Structure 1
Amino acid sequence: MTGSPSSAGLPVPSVARAAYVLDTLAAAPDGLPLSELARAIGAPKSSCLAVCTTLVTTGLLTRTPGGHYRLGWKVVPLGRAYLAKSGFVLEFRRVDQELGLLPEDTIVLSLLDGRHVVYVETRPGQRTLAMSYEIGLRLPAHCTASGKSLLASLTDDEIAGRYGDGRFETLTPHSITRMPKLMAEIENTRAHGYAVDDEETAPGMMCVGAAVAGRGGQPVGALSVSMVKSTVDDERLKLSTSAILRLSTAITERLGGL
């Protein structure tokens, strides 16, 4: 027999543990030693070692000479395979080509993952930016325009559940560090339909972001435009915001969210 009815469809602990390892290392670009990784996923070192050893043999992880575990090369084709079938990314590419908005600026697409956003597509602009937006980059959602626009789609209770411990990662002195400030930003985002990152992710950078919805009106991701703050006056901010809202609305329509 291949399995009893009582066990069919139940999560497999070892597979879940492997997923926790991959998720944890996705947020640690420099990798982690076994002891820290085991502590992060709440598993004994022996169990964590067994999972990591298996993942290394499959190419999903790599072990550095210093003993740190990092994501391996095999995650790249897996990510590309997902993006190749992602309606969000595909429709953005089509709409971006058709409308031709903001050709001078960098536009980034992201997904919400817990307290973070993960960048899944970047369309470079003609203007050079000091910050590099690489696919797979993870940043605290409350610091980014796209992250705040996605958090705004959640209920207040859902947001409180994610930040109930009161911990806020900070990237710059302008990053949000308290729940009342975050909720004020969320309310402003809900009222206007877009969010702003004013040097909260990187010094000298300003971003405007808006969420994109799919069928049933559920958010599938967000897009944002990144600009050097010193080049942004009221007129440029207005034009950029209008363009991002136009793009997000067009993609939402294509995905059946309106």
Structure 2
Amino acid sequence: MTEITALKRGLDILDMFSAEQRVVGISEIATRLAIHKSSASRLAATLASSGYLVAASAGNYALGPRLAALGSLAAARQDLTAVVTPFLKDLVEVTGETGHLAVLDGTIAKTVQVVDGWHTVRMHSWVGKLSPAHCSSMGKALLAGLSDAELDELYPDEALPVRTDHTITTREQLRHELTKLRRTGSCLDYEELEVGLRCVAAPVFSPDGTVDASISISGPAQRLTRDRMQFLARLVRWHAWRASLARGVLAVPPGWPAPLAEEPPAPDWAVRSEARHS
């Protein structure tokens, strides 16, 4: 039996389980896969040794805890997008800028949701986009949830890759930026990732108090002036906190600023015309 064949048969065994059939026996596995009972027994034992099955009784198996753990991971990611997206849409609606939801994957900020802005001139993005975390606002918002030791593990070298003349170039500069971020609750990107592109981000907290996601808005530097970005930072913080509350967060984790007491006003320069809105 080749490794690919064994893998396929192992997956076929898992597919035999359903809400109506919680336990599957060796004899049934052998019959449905058209293999000898000894082969079926070895396949089931291998799955059990890895936690995908557990012995229910002699010759019978039920689904194991490893599958439950993987299912929880998949559900958590799905729930993250489902819960946060409405608040990201609200943020985009009030600002007109393109919105992102991102998670951290090593030193990369991975976009898992995009809501297009409604300005005629706007950033165009896509789900699955990968950005270096140290030079993107959404990435730095994610990195701010790490300890110093975790940050050093991700960035063992002092020098950091450079994307533009505005990119943070050292780990010490990054550490300083993350300290500031934890003090203010938001992060600004002044063309660090791409010339002409500016972004504002804030962390989204999980119920266990960690930062496992961030939301951001991005737009052209001509429109997102420094004063406007400071204004928008409060709006991004507000919507990120609303998303955190919707995920079951009860209080801001230690080391982060208290949430804003009330919703900030909408920017007076982001007004959607009737023609554009229709």
Q: 1:191 to 1:211 in 2, by over 3 A?
A: same
Find out whether 1:198 has 2:239 as its counterpart. no
CA deviations 1:219-245 (Å, max 9, x no partner) are 221011112122234552233111100
Partner of 1:137: 129
Name the SS of the counterpart of 1:135 in structure 2: coil
Find the partner of 1:164 among 142, 149, 156.
156
Counterpart mapping for 1:92-241 below 5 A? 92-96=84-88, 101-129=93-121, 131-241=123-233
2:238 is equivalent to residue 246 of structure 1: yes
Percent identical pairs in the alignment equals: 26
Given residue 87 of structure 1, which amino acid in structure 2 is its aligned partner?
D
Distance 1:128 1:214 in 2: 34
C-alpha change, 1:100 and 1:118, in structure 2 (3 Å) is: closer
**How far apart, CA to CA, are the structure 1 residues paired with 2:203 and 2:194?**
21
Q: Distance in 1 between matches of 2:119 and 2:237?
A: 21
Matched pairs, number: 188
Give, in whole Å, the separation in 2 of the partners of 1:130 and 1:100. 11
Q: TM-score, normalised by structure 1?
A: 0.65
What SS does the aligned partner of 2:222 have?
helix
Q: Distance in 1 between matches of 2:177 and 2:239?
A: 22
Report the secondary structure of 1:183's partner residue.
Answer: helix
8 A Cα contact 1:84 1:90, kept in partner: no
Structure 1 residues 129 and 114: alpha-carbon distance in aligned structure 2, compared to 1, 3 A threshold = farther
Aligned to 2:8: none
Structure 1 stretches of 5 or more lacking a match? 11-81
Kindly indicate whether the alpha-carbon contact (under 8 Å) linking 1:194 and 1:210 is maintained by their aligned counterparts in 2: yes
Q: Could you say if the C-alpha distance between residues 107 and 178 of structure 1 is closer, same or farther in structure 2, counting changes exceeding 3 Å?
A: same
Q: 1:83–1:120: 8 Å Cα contact kept in structure 2? A: no
Using the alignment, how far apart are the partners of 1:98 and 1:162 within structure 2?
A: 33
Cα 1:92–1:127 shift into 2, 3 Å: same
Unaligned runs of 5+ in 2: 1-40, 52-73, 251-278
Q: 1:132 to 1:245 in 2, by over 3 A?
A: same
> Which portions of structure 1, spanning 4 or more consecutive aligned residues, are displaced by more than 4 angstroms?
82-85, 96-101, 128-131
Q: 1:105: how far off?
A: 0.8
Q: Look up the SS of the partner of 1:240 in the other structure.
A: helix
